[in-house]
Structure 1
Amino acid sequence: MSFFLSVFFAVSAACFAAWFQNRSWKKREDVRFEERERDSALKIVSEFSELSSKRLYRQKRYLWAVSGGDEDVECKDKAEYRKVLLEWNDRLRSILVSLGYSFGDDEVAYVERTIQAKFVDANRLINLLYEGGGEVSKTEIDRRLDVLGADLVAFNKKLLRRVREDNFSSLPLKTKVCFSNRKNLSFSYLFFRLFGL
């Protein structure tokens, strides 16, 4: 009888050790996954911030060159702006896909409907000013670009705040008890959550 009891305890201890080790590996992989997701989200915010700031600055330089009257400066700044515009158009789709993955479709819609629309509108007004028949003055276009710059800063801060709060990608679903994450309602999950394990 003691032999069977010893075997039972040995098998039970081995099963418990295997379960505990598996749980430890899973936690470690979850932490690595979260770190990769966080790094990816920060990278996309950085890329968007850099590219949008570059476009805004080059657009402002182009506006100043158009209103300054110096043709050499105007041609140089127009060429630089076109170069940044090509880069913007080349990279925007991939940035929007990454933004959608990390932050959701609402953020993508905001970039497309608000930020991109303001860039396009400012570009249209600058081109009208360049052709000599502007609807609005250089000062008004400059003011609109300043407002766009403030919108970009606020948007980037919002994304960074979401990263800091772990409110991006699929990370919030891990600890949230909801219908889409109903596995969290299991007895073992609630038991371990109760004791902080």
Structure 2
Amino acid sequence: MLGKVIAAVRRPMSSTGGRVVGWLLFFVLVIGLRLISPQFRSEMGPLSNSGLQIEDHSPKESADLASHAESVLFFDPTESRVRPGEVITLQAMIDTAANRVSGAELHVQFDPSQISLEQISASPVFSLSLQNPVIDNAKGEASVALGVPLGQPAVSGRYAVANFLFRAERAISATEVVFSERSLVAADNETGSVIREIRSARITGLLP
């Protein structure tokens, strides 16, 4: 049941205002359940909403843990070379720095005349599905929302979030895959996205 509630709250909204409201509701839901439901706490232990781990800390501990936006989203590899028809996997990576990250909503853009996106899969660390992958090869857009599994602690360090499987449609020159500004990363003790920087990946074509 909780998974359905989380998925409903995290469902993409059509307007910028709607996305902001949805993001705030996401945090309100997690914090509210964590604070007011002893039964939920006893049954579930530490609560994560889309993997968001909300833990109890003293004011001093909370102040020490608050680190603001320090996380970097990037692709691995950052540069690739492909022949026509070849498939390449780009890993969406996160370097959390001081943040303790528990969920990510990724929005990716690419040139559909150069490459097509065939599949998005979750990494083992961010295996909780909050939104099923959405791929639009006509527009060159894709999105997915993933989190750390319920009951698992938020993560700090460098981790893969998701795998994006692309295919070169033809002999391409050079193209980029980028995270759009709609991407979000959630962390413990933070009420907004903690993305500090986003980096693109470059794909260059090889002769057949």
TM-score, normalised relative to structure 1: 0.26
RCO comparison, higher one (Cα < 8 Å, 6+): 2
Specify the structure having the higher radius of gyration (Cα): 1
Decide which structure has greater strand share: 2
